[in-house]
């Protein structure tokens, strides 16, 4: 960039005078050309998040401090959640100068935990592969029993996490049995020992039903210290647990793959113990409250029943008096019933007598008319019967004459004969006969058998 000298005379031995903005711009250009892109490691301090979503903080170590800015786009894409005060991170970005204040700053594009670049990338790849197997699905997570009868703890016997868990459980549920399944929690042998400890707990559960909840815990540390809990075999072994598993590994900001596969993640070992063990004092207080409410409800119900009984007694009065009143009512009803029946009978009797008085003359007149009609019919009946007999006799004689004309015997008496074969069928055609065929011949007076000598001839032999 070309310097802008002032209008005053300048000695050749003196440096050129820069405008402030031009000098800042020149420095920014030199930084961009010399250092960018840049990676730097340090500790986050003074982290703040603006309403716009941008994050501003300082990165420092024991020798210096650098202002940093991470814009919203990079925060959402590159894991801005790792930025918190005290976190040791590795940043990747570009150096620039903020012209309005002349401050050197790093525009951050990517962030990851310091010293864990390759290891953290391996963690992300392994997490993605195990998630594809469905080991982290929310659908396979099981709820914790509200009041477990037994607990199991998988951790190192020398770990501070065990002391924290034991202290918490003694304070909250001193009555619960707790079994330790010892294992290394750090180092190359830790994954295999953790898997073996888990399988021992699974066998105990299958044979005895205990422990009902299993805690997998250890204290905080670096990613390398907690790497045993990112082992793929360990993750698959946790997924096979027959009981709910709570994972309390590290501090609140530490995450391992065991956290994702467990049924519940606790931020610390102490929190894991608290999640599975409701405080005994709280339970006793709740039980006392339920007892008090039950007692009050019982007394309230008894009071209501007593008041209801009192009201019923007032309405009922003395039983003898009520019976006497009912007897009086019954007697009155009986008297009214007898009186009503007597009145009804008297009314019906009067109606019957009135009907009889009105019906007498009418009945006599009707009887006279019926008698005269019967006498007239009796006089006409013999003549009608005689005429009907004559008509029927004449019809019978005509029918007899017609039957006589149709009588086959009359035909036979004129010299005709009735010829049938052995089956009783009438013979009407000579051509239908065969030589030697037996025939039955009926004449006017008697019958005889015959045989055919020559079909179709006018004569036939006789026997």
Q: Are the CB atoms for 265 and 259 separated by under 8 Å? A: yes
Q: Label residue 76 exposed, middle or buried (CB < 10 Å: 0-12, 13-18, 19+).
A: exposed
**What would the pLDDT profile of 306-342 be if each residue is shown by its tens digit?**
888 877 877 766 667 777 788 888 888 888 988 888 8
Query: How far, in Å, CA of 311 to CA of 210, rounded?
Result: 57
Bridge partner residues of 90 (DSSP): 41, 112
Q: Residue 5: is its pLDDT beyond 70? A: no
Q: What pLDDT was estimated at residue 317?
A: 63
CATH superfamily of 20-115: Nucleic acid-binding proteins (2.40.50.140)
Instruction: Quote the percentage of the chain above a pLDDT of 90.
Output: 24
Q: What pLDDT was estimated at residue 6?
A: 44
Closest by CA position to 42, among listed 54, 57, 31:
57
Q: Are the CB atoms for 338 and 332 separated by under 8 Å? A: no
Query: How far, in Å, CA of 281 to CA of 287, rounded?
Result: 10
CATH topology of domain 149-281: Rossmann fold (3.40.50)
Cβ neighbours of residue 29 closer than 8 Å, sequence gap 6 or more = 1
Name the segment(s) of the chain with CATH classification 3.40.50.261: 149-281
Q: Which CA distances in Å does 314 have to 73, 301, 327?
A: 83, 20, 21
Name the segment(s) of the chain with CATH classification 2.40.50.140: 20-115
Query: How far, in Å, CA of 358 to CA of 363, rounded?
Result: 9
**What would the pLDDT profile of 100-147 be if each residue is shown by its tens digit?**
887 888 888 888 777 655 667 788 889 999 999 999 999 999 999 988
Q: DSSP character for 272?
A: H
Radius of gyration of the chain (CA): 64
Q: What integer best gives the mean pLDDT of the chain?
A: 84
Query: How far, in Å, CA of 410 to CA of 56, rounded?
Result: 147
Cβ neighbours of residue 178 closer than 8 Å, sequence gap 6 or more = 150, 151, 152, 153, 166, 169, 211
Q: What are phi and psi of 154, to 5 degrees?
A: -105, 115
Report how far apart the first and last C-alpha atoms of the chain are (Å, whole number): 165
The overall longest dimension of the chain from CA atoms, in Å, is 188
- Give the mean pLDDT of 268-274: 91
Grade residue 228 by pLDDT with cuts at 50, 70 and 90.
very high
């Amino acid at each position: 960039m070309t310097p802008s000298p002032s209008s005053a005379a300048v000695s050749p031995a003196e440096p050129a005078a820069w405008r402030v903005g031009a000098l800042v711009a020149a420095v920014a250009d030199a930084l961009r050309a010399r250092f960018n892109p840049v990676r730097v490691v340090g500790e986050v301090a003074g982290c703040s998040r603006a309403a716009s979503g941008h994050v501003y903080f300082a990165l420092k170590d024991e020798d210096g401090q650098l202002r940093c800015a991470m814009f919203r786009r990079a925060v959402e894409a590159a894991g801005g959640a790792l930025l918190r005060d005290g976190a040791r991170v590795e940043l990747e970005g570009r150096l620039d100068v903020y012209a309005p204040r002349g401050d050197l700053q790093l525009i951050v594009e990517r962030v990851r935990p310091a010293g864990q670049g390759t290891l953290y990338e391996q963690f992300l790849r392994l997490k993605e592969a195990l998630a594809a197997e469905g080991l982290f699905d929310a659908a396979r997570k099981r709820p914790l029993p509200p009041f477990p009868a037994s607990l199991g703890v998988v951790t190192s016997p020398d770990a501070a996490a065990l002391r924290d868990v034991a202290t918490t459980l003694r304070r909250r549920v001193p009555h619960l049995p707790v079994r330790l399944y010892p294992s290394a929690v750090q180092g190359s042998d830790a994954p295999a020992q953790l898997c073996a400890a888990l399988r021992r707990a699974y066998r105990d559960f299958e044979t005895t039903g205990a422990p009902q909840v299993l805690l997998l815990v250890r204290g905080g540390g670096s990613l390398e210290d907690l790497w045993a809990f990112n082992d793929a075999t360990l993750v698959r072994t946790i997924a096979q647990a027959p009981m709910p598993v709570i994972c309390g590994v590290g501090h609140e900001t530490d995450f391992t793959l065991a956290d994702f596969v467990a049924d519940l993640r606790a931020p610390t070992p102490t929190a894991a113990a608290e999640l599975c063990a409701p405080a005994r004092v709280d339970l006793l207080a709740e039980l006392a409250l339920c007892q008090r409410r039950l007692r009050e409800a019982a007394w309230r119900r008894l009071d209501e029943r007593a008041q209801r009984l009192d009201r019923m007694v007032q309405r009922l009065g003395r039983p003898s008096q009520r019976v006497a009143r009912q007897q009086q009512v019954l007697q009155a009803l009986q008297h009214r019933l007898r009186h009503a029946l007597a009145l009804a009978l008297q009314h019906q009797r009067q109606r019957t007598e009135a009907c009889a008085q009105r019906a007498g003359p009418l009945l006599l007149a009707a009887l006279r008319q019926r008698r005269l009609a019967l006498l007239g019919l009796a006089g006409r009946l013999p003549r009608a019967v005689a005429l009907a007999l004559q008509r029927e006799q004449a019809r019978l004689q005509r029918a007899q004459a017609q039957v006589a004309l149709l009588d086959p015997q009359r035909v036979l008496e004129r010299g005709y004969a009735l010829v049938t074969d052995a089956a009783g069928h009438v013979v009407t055609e000579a051509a239908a006969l065969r030589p030697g065929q037996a025939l039955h011949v009926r004449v006017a007076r008697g019958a005889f058998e015959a045989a055919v000598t020559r079909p179709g001839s006018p004569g036939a032999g006789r026997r």
